[in-house]
Structure 1
Amino acid sequence: MDNLNELKAIWQTAKTDGLPTTAEIVEMAKKFRYQKLRNKVLSIVVGVGAIVLMFAFYLNKPDLAISTIGGIICTVLACSILIYTNARSMKRFIDMHDLSNKQFIEFLEQTRHNQLYYYKYTQVFGLLFSSIGLLLFLYEFVQKNTAMSAAFYTIAVLWTLFMCFYMRPRNFKKQSAKMERMLASLKKINDQLQ
């Protein structure tokens, strides 16, 4: 009986400050799943919409310059990369039902690994194709005026550099920090349960 009282005293003195409740954990998982699915669906819709608009406006114009056609092809490739990667990863989030704590932590670690791969490789190729596509696509329209060409290409290159070297790392750090906080709190809870 004395051991039971000691165990009860230890149980009641355990520090649970900073640990979310089970309802908060379930809500966090649902919110995470919903946000990721929403973002993936939105990315797919934007990619398909861009491809449809490209073909709708420029498919019936046989007198396009080779640079414009190259720009369209590069832009369609960038949109296709976006559509493919988001459609492929959507299955993981759709199948994310009734996971145990350990399975959810493994799921988040795999998601973090996928985000790193996307940041290092997939996003780079998508940004490369879309930037080249933009520069090639509008060449035909701005080539006649030297000042307009210089202004356009200066703005386009500055925008690409801004997106590549400022926005992309900044967004990745924010997403990564958010994922790390979520993983740390869930690991802390999981360690308490074991």
Structure 2
Amino acid sequence: MNSDNNIDFKDLWKKQSISEPDMNDLLARLSKFKKTALRCLWLTNITLLATSVLIIFIWIFFQPQFISTKIGIVLTILAMVVYMFVYNKLLSDYKNIDSTQTNQEYLQKLILIKKKQQFLQTKMMSFYFIGLTLGVCLYLYEYASRLSLTGASLMYGITLFWMLFNWFYLRPKQVKKQQDKINGLIEKFEEINHQLEI
């Protein structure tokens, strides 16, 4: 009777396996996250690179006269290049997620990616938008100076409205979507690691 009462529940709990479908589903979600992140990174690179080439082409083809226009072009391209440089540091982190890692390694990698994403979404995005806004405003000055006050106001108004719309509406939605995805994965891996440690 004494041997029946000495059941080691902790040992039994450790021996239980995490249901295979849950783990497979989680790995599928992780794989989808990786593919989406890499696709987004490459699309951003191509878009910013193509935009920079177009801006340089406009500079060469239209030969702006004002120094403000040239400074605006340089500021705009600089903002894009710096943002691309920092964003591309995530490339190796995304690529290093593979199916041979342990749950703890997945978790550590996701936490690292989350920290880098937060830096990118706050400080770097602020730098990018400030540089882009100043660059575009300086660039437009030469052309706005040839327009009437109403035309110049309309040109700056539409441009600034679009930038503010991006900053206050589109950017927060995109940031929240990215954070929700990575936070969901982190929570699931933490839950599984917690189950394995008990």
Q: Which residue of 2 aligns with 1:50?
A: 51
Which sections of structure 2, spanning at least 5 residues, go unmatched?
Answer: none
Specify which structure has the bigger relative contact order, considering alpha-carbon pairs within 8 angstroms and separated by 6 or more residues: 2
Kindly tell me the number of residue pairs found equivalent between the two proteins.
Answer: 188
Where structure 1 has 5 or more consecutive residues not aligned to the other structure, the ranges are: none
2 CA distance for matches of 1:103 and 1:186?
10
Aligned pairs for 1:109-128 (under 5 A) are 109-128=111-130
Listed one character per residue, the Cα deviations across residues 24-53 of structure 1 (whole Å, up to 9, x for unaligned) are: 122112111111111111111111111111
In the superposition, relative to structure 1, how do residues 120 and 20 fare at CA in structure 2: closer, same or farther (>3 Å)?
farther
Separation in 1, partners of 2:5, 2:155? 78
User: How many Å apart are 1:187 and its aligned residue?
Assistant: 1.0
Distance 1:192 1:164, change over 3 A: same
Q: Percent identity?
A: 24
Matches within 5 A, 1:13-162: 21-97=22-98, 98-144=100-146, 145-162=148-165
Give 2:196's aligned residue. Answer: 193
Q: Which moved more, 1:46-55 or 1:59-68?
A: 59-68
Q: Which residue number in structure 2 is paired with residue 171 of structure 1?
A: 174
Q: Is the 8 A contact 2:72 2:137 kept in 1?
A: yes
Deviation at 1:60, TM superposition (A): 4.4
Deviation by residue 1:99-144 (Cα, 9 ceiling, x = unmatched)? 2100111111111111211122101001111111221212222222
CA offset digits 1:42-100 (Å, max 9, x no partner): 11111111111112232244453212212211110121023212222211112222221
Equivalent-residue separation in structure 1 for 2:55 and 2:142 (angstroms): 16
Alpha-carbon contact 1:44-1:82 (below 8 Å) kept: no
RMSD: 2.6
